[in-house]
Structure 1
Amino acid sequence: MGTKRHFRVWRGDDTGGSLQDFQVEVNEGEVVLDVIHRLQATQTPDLAVRWNCKAGKCGSCSMEINGKPRLGCMTRMSTFADNETVTVTPLRTFPVIRDLVTNVNFNYQKARELPAFAPPKDLEPGEYRMQQVDVERSQEFRKCIECFLCQNVCHVIRDHEENKPAFSGPRFFIRASELDMHPLDTRTDRKELAQAEQGLGYCNITKCCTEVCPEHIKITDNAIIPMKERVVDRRYDPVTWLGRKIFRRDQLDDPTAGRAAATGTSVATRSGDPATADTSAGWHQEGPLPQAAPVGPDGKLTVAELYLDRAAAASPFGDDQEFPLPPEKLRYQHPSAPDGDAHGHR
């Protein structure tokens, strides 16, 4: 038999509402969403709440519990004192539809405004291999479950409704950052778009979005701050400014062109010749030499490929390398091929 607990739940719609008090049974091991469901079943059958998986993976049951944005299905009742009143309200940043359900269309509108992933044209399966370090850098951002708690807690739009047209919010900053890091994304203007269209400059990195993320994504440290730094490098770095005065635009878009012209050396290409190494702009080290053709004559991976711990190339770090890698060994720039187009893509 459970114990009775005091709940205050916001009831109302877009025209107004108020907090209502309830005494509801709570059993050991339950979460807030369990109690909300019990309220629906026993006292308020018309209580509106959005939920789906009840496993912390769909992001549907976002709400504010005792003033903090959380997932109802991941907030255990055991975290509250026995005599503590649990207050449940809808997300404050978005318009209320009814009770605990809010209209989050703002986020889907911003998602449509963000340019999609743009792979290189004419890239055939097996022609390109991503380094594991490139995969790991952006993998963190793909954990986002779109609960929009980070959007809700961001004071740029939480406290200033007028900022919404010009500000995308942290959820879409990590998406832009992920695509900007992706070696296969051919768009070179994501930094400019983040500054001019997404309102990156509005963010003053208070890290409130990171604090509420249920997937523990380091939104500020790993996405927003690096993107801000890349924007500053692109727009305000004096060396970059001087380079724009000296080199042609195509040399600036392909950093290897200016370096090759200055040294009189040629840059290795991805021409398929196993004797040439794949080098990339700013990586300061040669890529691994191919050990075998990426695919067989039939266009499929060979049996040997399927059983190797790495595909068609030796490890660029060595088998004795410990992870995580030190910063000086991380590869921060997108691969480029001087035999391709102006952006270094085939």
Structure 2
Amino acid sequence: MGYQGHFRVWRGSDQGGGLEDFTVEVNEGEVVLDVIHRLQATQTPDLAVRWNCKAGKCGSCSAEINGKPRLLCMTRMSVFAEDETVTVTPMRTFPVIRDLVTDVSYNYKKAREIPSFRPPTGVGPGEYRMQQVDVERSQEFRKCIECFLCNNTCHVIRDHEENKESFAGPRFLMRVAELEMHPLDEADRVDQAQATHGLGLCNITKCCTDVCPENIKITDNALIPMKERVADQRYDPLVWLGNKLFRRS
């Protein structure tokens, strides 16, 4: 059976805005995106919301529901009490374009800063050989749907706009880790992660892992291993001595 749900939805643009209250029908089995679509159809035809697959695989409908970064299409209305007010706001870390739609171009800029896979010289496509354990190590990271909820919740850029220039965020530090863990990649990803992508700014609070809709263990399996590799390469006294003795950079 359906009921009348209470919603507060942020309306506005980059010039400003605020929360507006709505009462809208909610039916059994629906997700928040269903209700937002009904709101568009019945009360606010100009409400802007980004979405595509409605199956939790495209990452388009990222927003914040009752203050928590989530996918609208994967948040079931059954998790809320019928008399509870559901507040839907745009992702806070990125500039608002209109209503629930934000400008996530920051993320694509950071993606372009990461050098692509660099295979060994003389090894062509189709000639790569890897152990299964090496495949499995980075396969988890390939599940990322680029919803950017991890970057949105990361306080390094959420609370400090000035860090955006020097910090790639957990999504793209995870991409660096994926390439670093590839046994055939010959680029120096460890130094890049620290010097270029701001790995040192991450203090592993696991907030990125907590909001990942694909349940990727971003902190434990990507960020912490990269920090360990940085520590080994830059601060291990034996490695430092070996670099001095053998004149390695």
Partner of 1:69, secondary structure, is strand
Residue 186 of structure 1: CA displacement? Answer: 1.6
1:206 partner amino acid? T
The structure that is helix-richer by fraction is 2
After TM superposition, give the deviation of residue 110 of structure 1 in Å.
0.3
Q: Following the alignment from structure 1 to structure 2, what is the Cα–Cα distance between the partners of residues 142 and 214?
A: 13
Runs of 4+ in 1 over 4 A off after TM superposition: none
Q: TM-score, normalised by structure 1?
A: 0.71
Q: Which residue of 2 aligns with 1:140?
A: 140
Paired residue for 1:213? 212
Distance in 1 (CA, whole Å) between partners of 2:120 and 2:74 is 40
Separation in structure 2 between the aligned mates of residue 156 and residue 207 of structure 1, nearest angstrom: 12
Shift of 1:54: 0.2
Q: 1:126 to 1:96 in 2, by over 3 A?
A: closer
Gapped runs of 5+ residues in structure 2?
A: none
Q: CA deviation at 1:242?
A: 1.4
Q: Describe the superposition over 1:294-328 as per-residue Cα deviations: whole angstroms up to 9, x where unpaired.
A: xxxxxxxxxxxxxxxxxxxxxxxxxxxxxxxxxxx
Matching of residue 193 in structure 1 with residue 210 in structure 2: no
Letter in 2 for 1:210: T
User: Across the two proteins, how many residue pairs are aligned to each other?
Assistant: 249
Q: Which residue pairs with 1:71 in the alignment? A: 71
Paired amino acid for 2:143: K
- Post-superposition Cα deviations, 1:239-262, rounded to whole Å, max 9, x if no partner, equal 10111222243xx8xxxxxxxxxx
Partner of 1:234: 233
Corresponding residue number in structure 2 for 1:308? none
**Higher RCO (CA < 8 A, seq sep 6+):** 2
The Cα offsets for residues 117-156 of structure 1, whole Å up to 9 and x where unpaired, read as 1122321455442100000000000000000000000000
CA distance in 1, matches of 2:66, 2:208: 17
Query: Could you tell me which amino acid in structure 1 is paired with residue 12 of structure 2?
Result: G
Q: TM-score under structure 2 normalisation?
A: 0.98
1:173 alignment partner in structure 2: 173
Offset at residue 2 of structure 1 (A):
1.7
Counterpart CA distance in 2 for 1:72 and 1:124 is 42
Distance 1:171 1:128 in 2: 26
- The residue aligned with 2:130 is 130
| 1:299-318 paired onto structure 2 within 5 Å | none
Is this contact kept in 1: 2:3–2:82, CA < 8 A? no
Specify the SS of the correspondent of 1:177: helix
Q: Distance in 1 between matches of 2:36 and 2:3?
A: 15
Matched, 1:40 2:6: no
Moved more, 125-134 or 236-245: 125-134
**For the residues of structure 1 that align with 2:244 and 2:36, how far apart are their CA atoms?**
63
State whether structure 2 residue 8 is matched by structure 1 residue 4: no
Alpha-carbon deviation of 1:19?
Answer: 0.4
> What amino acid is the match of 1:222?
N
Shift of 1:184: 1.5
The answer to whether the aligner puts 1:223 opposite 2:222 as a matched pair is yes
Q: Which runs of 5 or more structure 1 residues have no equivalent in the other structure? A: 253-346
CA contact (8 A) 2:34 2:73 kept: yes
- Report the residue type matching 1:20 in the other structure: E
Q: State the secondary structure of the residue aligned to 1:216.
A: coil
Q: Distance in 2 between matches of 1:124 and 1:88?
A: 49
Secondary structure of 1:59's counterpart equals coil
CA spacing shift, 1:126–1:149, aligned 2, 3 Å: closer
